[in-house]
Structure 1
Amino acid sequence: MEKTFNWVIVGAGGIAGEMASAFMAMGRQPYGVAGRTREKAQALAERCGAEKLYESPQQAFEDPNVDIVYLATPHNTHAELIEQALAAGKHVLCEKAITLNSKELERCVTLAGQKGLVLAEAMTIWHMPLYQELWQRLAAGEWGKVQLIQLNFGSFKDYDMTNRFFNPELAGGALLDIGVYALSCARSFLASAPDQVLSRVKLAPTGVDEQAVILLQNPENQMATVTMSLRSKLPKRAVIGCERAYIEIDDYPRARSARVVDAATGAVTQIQAGETGRALEYEVTAMEQAVRTGDASAMWLGWSRDVMNIMTALRREWGVRYPGEEY
């Protein structure tokens, strides 16, 4: 019988609630919940039937019965909590963006390696069955080389400068919140990391990025464009242009279907795999398999590092630095 892992959810916001629901859909409960405020953490623990309610994340890390920590706290808390959890011997699955910058991430990666632990980013794209199939078919040469990728992601948010979207104290901005999805999707279809990056940005009154257009190019001369905004609605749409076809994916962060259009005939093929509503279940399954086998390759931390390098370089160019941040 396969080992059952004890998970603790750290955080009690919306995505933490989604993860708790994912466990329940799998016929399980998280072992414990820890939040920044006891009231919200207690409500989540009661809803999902968690066995333990911790007074703090640190108390959860100290519990010898905890195997895996799922972090769903604000971006600017990730690195510190990751390091604390790893130091306590816990495997960590952390919500995107996994850290604020590359310096923080590399520090965490080094510690995970020293401890022999799995560290991964909770990026839904890495684990949706649809992408597994598309990557395999592209690797087999079915549609020829990927040449050009176009990605959009836009939401309209009111100018409430106290919420996390525009608040620098909470590491706000479009890049770490929604741009990370687009860049992660692009990276998964590129043969190597981009080594040329150009951009234009519009900053919010608080100094964080609210809108940007980014152009990427790698040594294989594959290119990608990313358009993102917190002040205009855009479809979450990806187009992957190949030599013999193009692939269209709507709602790409948790996509279950793609449309492939043959370049010569215009014939359309629909590809479906997985279920959107099970996105977080796929993350849990992949993380547990990585911990069980010691093979974390399917968690794609290398891609997360490439994306973080891009985002760090962009924010440095834009002059977007969060309070107390060193990059």
Structure 2
Amino acid sequence: MTHYHWGIIGLGDIAHQFAAGFKSEKSEIYGVAARRLPKVQAFAEEFSIPTVYETVEDLLADDVIDFVYIAVPNNVHHQYIMAALQAGKHVLCEKAITMNSAELTEEIALAKEKNLVLQEAMTIFNMPLYLELKKIADSGTLGKLKLIQAPFGSYKEPDPTNRFFNPELAGGALLDIGTYAVSFARFFLSATPDVLFSNVLPFETGVDEQSITVLRNQKDEMATVSLSFQAKMPKQGIVAYENAYITVDEYPRADKAEIVYRDGHKEIIEAGNTTEALNYEVQTLIETVEGAKNRTLPLTIDVIRILDDMRRFW
């Protein structure tokens, strides 16, 4: 059995989560690199990672590394993705994978040229619960999809110097939490939607503080996406069909959902485990490298295009 080696680029909170919970029979975390070497050394010691690289370039030049997990700020995702692909590494990059569709198109072209796999670390596309819910929806028992509601509100201290509100660091609700809400909607929609309407309230730095968006596709399936960085909202996704509706609480890493039918009876669907969310992303990338269809990338392409279109309205 092939055994793969991961290299981590970046030391943010999500990188700590990735390393702390990493479980994979087919792979291991082999090395880590970031800008500040003392922090890299501390990170490697904390998570028993055997190799510390002085630079990202050193990590990418190491032939032992098969996969690169990129966990740096959004504004430099493209830079590191292109470098990793150019170095011949398969890439799992944190959300939002790119700033825009133009960057993603360039990355996909390079991945194809190099015969490499590129995927976004979007939990919603990898959680077993969503795969199970999609099977149920595709069976036809729920009827035609009508409406989706995808709210996401998170209160951030209104500090212009914080990365959440810093335009130089690709701040704003859209790229931080909005990508989850749009991904939730896109996962259940049976065809690519268009943005019918989107309105934004900007923060003083110019980034988006809150917004409301309406999506609709050619099958007349519709979705609303509501985002805020100054008001906390329950992360409860609702997917309404003719015969029933699905509610998913804490939808970014959900492992449980409820289906409520028109006659009032309820069904609980459980699959996977919230605590293993990042490992499902690892598993999907390995399966794709080993020949499975890249089922998440087409969804990612649509989501990034939708984010582009929302900003055009703004």
Compute the TM-score of the two structures, normalised by the length of structure 1.
0.93
Query: CA offset at residue 131 of structure 1?
Result: 0.4
1:277 corresponds to which residue? 275
**Pairwise CA distance, 1:196:** 3.6
Gap runs ≥5 in structure 2: none
Where in structure 1 are there 5+ consecutive unaligned residues? 319-327
Q: Distance in 2 between matches of 1:106 and 1:24?
A: 31
Matched residues in 2 for 1:172 and 1:26: separation?
A: 36
**Matching residue within 299, 304, 307 for 1:308:** 304
| Segment drifting more, 136-145 vs 166-175 | 136-145
Aligned to 1:174: 173
Q: Which residue of 1 aligns with 2:78?
A: 79
Q: Deviations over 1:19-77 (max 9, x none)?
A: 10122587974100111221222221111111111112221111111000000000011
Give the match's secondary structure for 1:233: coil
> Partner of 1:192 in structure 2?
191
SS of aligned partner of 1:6: strand
Q: How many residues align?
A: 314
CA shift in 2, pair 1:27/1:305, >3 Å: closer
- Counterpart of 1:210 in structure 2 is 209
Q: Secondary structure at the match of 1:142?
A: coil
Percent of residue pairs identical: 47
The alpha carbon displacement at 1:223 in A equals 0.1
Supply the distance in 2 between the matched residues of 1:177 and 1:310 (Cα, whole angstroms): 15
Q: Deviations over 1:189-248 (max 9, x none)?
A: 001111243111100000000100110000111000011100000011100000100000
Residue aligning to 1:55: 54
Shift of 1:175: 0.3
1:69 and 2:65 equivalent? no
Aligned to 1:4: 3
The letter for the 2-side match of 1:168 is: P
Q: Which residue of 2 aligns with 1:140?
A: 139
Contact 2:195 2:310 in 1 (8 A): no
For 1:37 and 1:124, how far apart are their aligned partners in 2? 28
**One-letter amino acid of the counterpart of residue 54, structure 2:** E
Deviations 1:258-282 (A, max 9, x none): 010001x111111111110000111
User: CA RMSD for the aligned pairs?
Assistant: 1.4
Moved more, 90-99 or 136-145: 136-145
